[in-house]
């Protein structure tokens, strides 16, 4: 197992090289001159040239890339052009905010999704099943920026929970100390994920329930509860775990809309702001960090397969 | 032959499935007895309803399947009427079952020991530790080498024959009165088949349970069974003791079946196949279901379905030849063999 994990971590190196090359070239292919943007409108050519020289933008691309990678492996992702602070520090401050949001959202998604999926599968082709699946389809189709706005409308601005407006105020340092701030953003992100997990759980459970070993379990005289939760669910979980991993990874990197709606200072907003202002080091830094996270999440998913089914040989 | 010692009596069982094309009566008039400590075979071609019969006994039919009529009497209780809770108490405890496919019948994500233990924990109130100890004993009983090690193995680590032994160990966990073996050797190599048959036979003698052996293989029947029910198109057409069936089969279908089988105990010039096909469950003939393929069929056979009749020796037969109403000749030639009609 340890050997496997080490090997998998080594395998991420080529992935990360690919990611850095991609991000690096994309940033240089898009129109716009970083030095000019930083210098601001009406700056003299000399000022722009100085900035360009300071940032190394006059060097050939491969030298710029080499410098970037060289520093990155030492944990130095450069400094933000905009704020001048080290990229790592900026990311560090925002990372836990996003991580918390993604983590709680995933828990909500798994909890709601599994329950809905199992109920649907056990009562397949009944009214319950159809109802649950229609709700899931809504959850899946609803853009979360819209759902987020609806939640704000209902709970914060409307009369349901007017005091919750208070929790929507931006806290630059993250969540602040009130857990209630987390509720609406987590619901926004979590429900979409729950819908996907519910549908996956249902189809996976239905497939498993038709298997011979489920009949064997029933022939042993076990209760339907044990048959479903012990015998069927564990077998049905593998595709579900894959989806959960993807969801969690997606939440970490792509919760931009939710973060924007709820004014959360997370990774998503950091990335978008960096792209908008051509803050090259920051964009490279955030994308790199998100990629590493994605790779780690995938690794965890693969390791959990082995736990669910001993037949899967990781080596 | 039919005595008070029967542990199970199936009477006119009818099981239907609702399908897109309408209701299909997969089992329609199955009756047989299972005497205590004996082995009864249920033979028939694919689709004759033998597996559905066995699943009906345990009420493990697929969701679209339903028992529509008849009785399944187990020690006086009608299993078609008892509660689901009572059924669960019986399943795996007093009546247990092993299936055709050992490769897919064990849960891939639990160890052999965990799977055997389950029945012991839920029916005998053992704790996990006691159940594991008993599981090892059971694995030993079914001839699995180094059972202490194998009890921790996952099904994928075992061969097909070993898995079927595990299935048998699992079904024997609670000392059942009846073991239903649904084609337990069909998916196995011939050499392993013989071992598994031998094992079931041996265990039956040692534990004194009754066995319902479902198979399409008459060779297996000859080796293991005391009584046989021959099924055709969802019905029992003949039920008799093993000796009578092989020496003097009565139903034209049984005669045809035995003639199509290579045998060592009688001289055969060539094997004779039964012409035609099993009728589709959607288009059952109105009269005797075998009539369209039967060389001795008369108008009566084609018009009216014969009942299952009991003869003097207690054997049962569903054929007009042996009834008072038989319209044909006294000596009937069926697949080159002569049978004396009753009428």
**Does the pLDDT of residue B53 top 90, yes or no?**
yes
Contact across the interface for B107 and A226, Cβ inside 8 Å: no
Q: What is the pLDDT of residue B343?
A: 63
Q: Token pair for residue A83?
A: 């704020």
Cα-Cα end-to-end distance for chain B: 24
Cβ contact B107:B138 at 8 Å: no
Mean pLDDT, residues B175-181:
94
**Taking Cα atoms as reference points, which of B281, B233, B270 lies closest to residue B253?**
B233
Mean pLDDT, residues B244-248:
91
Mutate to test the interface with B, among A123, A124, A214, A216 (most CBs of B within 10 A): A216
Q: What is the pLDDT of residue A314?
A: 63
Mean pLDDT, residues A37-56:
80
Q: What is the pLDDT of residue A162?
A: 59
**Taking Cα atoms as reference points, which of A97, A73, A96, A76 lies closest to residue A87?**
A76
Maximum mean pLDDT: which of A221-235, A284-298, B183-197? A221-235
Q: Token pair for residue B41?
A: 């075979």
Select the residue of B60, B110, B123 nearest A219 (Cβ to Cβ).
B60
Q: What is the pLDDT of residue B242?
A: 94
Q: What is the pLDDT of residue A172?
A: 44
Contact across the interface for A213 and B106, Cβ inside 8 Å: yes
**Does the pLDDT of residue A292 top 50, yes or no?**
yes
Q: What is the pLDDT of residue B1?
A: 44
Q: What is the DSSP letter of A57?
A: T
- Under the banding of pLDDT at 50, 70 and 90, the label for residue A256 is confident
Closest residue on chain B to A216 (Cα): B105
Q: Token pair for residue A185?
A: 């953003």
Distance from CA of A262 to the nearest CA of B (A): 43
Contact across the interface for B109 and A310, Cβ inside 8 Å: yes
- Under the banding of pLDDT at 50, 70 and 90, the label for residue B178 is very high
Q: Token pair for residue B72?
A: 């399944």
Q: Supply the pTM of this predicted model.
A: 0.83
All structural domains of chain A: 92-308 (1.10.3720.10)
- Under the banding of pLDDT at 50, 70 and 90, the label for residue B132 is very high
- Under the banding of pLDDT at 50, 70 and 90, the label for residue A177 is low
Span B278-315, pLDDT tens digits: 888 888 889 999 999 999 899 999 999 999 998 888 89
Mean pLDDT of chain A: 84
Closest residue on chain B to A311 (Cα): B156
Contact across the interface for A222 and B107, Cβ inside 8 Å: no
- The ipTM of this complex is 0.88
Span A118-172, pLDDT tens digits: 999 999 889 999 999 999 999 888 888 888 888 888 877 766 665 555 555 544 4
Contacts of B49 (CB under 8 A, 6+ apart): B15, B26, B27, B28, B30, B231, B233, B234, B235
**Does the pLDDT of residue B245 top 80, yes or no?**
yes
**Does the pLDDT of residue A173 top 50, yes or no?**
no
- Under the banding of pLDDT at 50, 70 and 90, the label for residue A9 is confident
Contact across the interface for B101 and A231, Cβ inside 8 Å: no
Q: Rounded to the nearest 5°, which phi and psi values hold at A310?
A: -65, -15
**Does the pLDDT of residue A266 top 60, yes or no?**
yes
Q: Which residue has the higher pLDDT, B266 or A93?
A: A93
Mean pLDDT, residues A93-114:
91
Mutate to test the interface with A, among B105, B170, B175 (most CBs of A within 10 A): B105
Span B67-121, pLDDT tens digits: 999 999 999 899 999 999 999 999 999 999 999 888 899 999 999 999 999 999 9
Span A14-24, pLDDT tens digits: 888 888 888 77
Select the residue of B99, B123, B156 nearest A221 (Cβ to Cβ).
B123
Q: What is the pLDDT of residue A168?
A: 55
Query: Does residue B23 sit in helix, strand or coil?
Result: strand
Closest residue on chain A to B86 (Cα): A221
Contact across the interface for B107 and A217, Cβ inside 8 Å: yes
**Does the pLDDT of residue A208 top 80, yes or no?**
yes
CA atoms of B96 and A176, how far apart (whole Å): 61
Residue ranges of the alpha helices (H) in chain B?
50-58, 84-90, 102-105, 112-124, 128-141, 147-150, 160-172, 190-207, 218-224, 242-247, 252-259, 299-303
Residue bearing tokens 């196995």: B188
């Amino acid at each position: 197992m340890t050997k496997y994990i080490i090997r998998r971590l080594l395998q991420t190196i080529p992935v990360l090289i690919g990611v850095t090359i991609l991000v690096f070239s994309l940033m240089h292919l898009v129109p716009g001159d970083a030095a000019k943007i930083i210098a601001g409108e009406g700056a003299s050519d000399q000022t722009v040239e100085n900035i360009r020289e300071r940032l190394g933008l006059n060097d050939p691309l491969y030298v710029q890339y080499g410098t970037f990678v060289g520093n990155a492996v030492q944990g130095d992702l450069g400094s933000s052009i905009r704020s001048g602070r080290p990229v790592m520090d900026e990311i560090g401050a925002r990372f836990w905010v996003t991580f918390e949001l993604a983590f709680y959202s995933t828990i909500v998604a798994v909890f709601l999704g599994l329950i809905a999926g199992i109920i649907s599968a056990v009562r397949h082709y009944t009214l319950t099943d159809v109802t649950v699946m229609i709700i899931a389809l809504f959850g899946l189709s609803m853009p979360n920026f819209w759902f987020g706005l609806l939640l704000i409308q209902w709970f914060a601005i409307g009369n349901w929970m007017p005091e919750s407006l208070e929790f929507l105020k931006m806290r630059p340092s993250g969540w602040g100390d009130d857990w209630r701030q987390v509720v609406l953003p987590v619901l926004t992100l979590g429900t979409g994920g729950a819908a996907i997990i519910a549908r996956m759980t249902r189809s996976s459970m239905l497939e498993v329930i038709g298997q011979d070993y489920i009949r064997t379990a029933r022939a042993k005289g076990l209760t339907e509860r044990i048959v479903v939760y012990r015998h069927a669910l564990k077998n049905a979980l593998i595709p579900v775990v894959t989806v959960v991993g993807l969801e969690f990874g997606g939440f970490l990197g792509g919760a931009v809309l939710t973060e924007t709606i709820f004014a959360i200072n997370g990774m998503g907003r950091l990335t978008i702001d960096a792209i908008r202002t051509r803050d090259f080091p920051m964009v490279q830094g955030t994308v790199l960090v998100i990629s590493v996270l994605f790779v780690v999440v995938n690794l965890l998913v693969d390791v959990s397969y082995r736990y669910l089914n001993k037949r899967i040989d990781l080596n | 032959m039919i005595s008070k010692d029967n542990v199970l009596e199936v009477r006119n069982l009818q099981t239907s499935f609702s399908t897109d094309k309408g209701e299909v009566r997969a089992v329609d008039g199955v009756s047989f007895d299972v005497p205590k400590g004996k082995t009864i075979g249920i033979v028939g071609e694919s689709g004759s309803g033998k597996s559905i019969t066995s699943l009906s006994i345990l009420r493990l039919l697929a969701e679209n399947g339903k028992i529509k009529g008849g009785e399944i009497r187990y020690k006086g209780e009608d299993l078609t009427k008892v509660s689901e809770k009572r059924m669960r108490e019986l399943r795996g405890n007093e009546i247990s079952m092993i299936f055709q496919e050992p490769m897919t019948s064990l849960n891939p994500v639990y160890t052999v020991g965990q799977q055997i233990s389950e029945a012991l924990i839920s029916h005998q109130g053992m704790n996990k530790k006691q159940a594991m100890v008993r599981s090892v004993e059971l694995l030993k009983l079914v001839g699995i080498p180094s059972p202490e090690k194998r009890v921790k193995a996952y099904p994928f680590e075992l061969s097909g024959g070993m898995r079927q032994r595990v299935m048998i160990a699992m079904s024997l966990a609670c000392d059942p009165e009846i073991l239903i073996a649904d084609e337990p050797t069909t998916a196995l190599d011939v050499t392993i088949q013989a071992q598994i048959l031998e094992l079931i036979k041996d265990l039956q003698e040692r534990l004194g349970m009754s066995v319902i052996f479902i198979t399409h293989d008459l060779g297996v029947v000859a080796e293991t069974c005391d009584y046989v029910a021959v099924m055709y198109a969802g019905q029992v057409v003949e039920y008799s003791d093993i000796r009578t069936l092989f020496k003097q089969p009565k139903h034209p279908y049984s005669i045809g079946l035995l003639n199509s089988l290579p045998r060592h105990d009688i001289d055969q010039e060539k094997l004779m196949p039964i012409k035609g096909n099993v009728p589709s469950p959607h288009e059952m003939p109105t009269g005797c279901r075998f009539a369209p393929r039967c060389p001795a069929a008369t108008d009566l056979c084609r018009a009216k379905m014969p009942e299952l009749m009991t003869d003097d020796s207690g054997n049962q037969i569903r054929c007009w030849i042996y009834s008072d109403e038989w319209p044909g000749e006294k000596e009937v030639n069926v697949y080159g063999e002569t049978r004396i009609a009753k009428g």
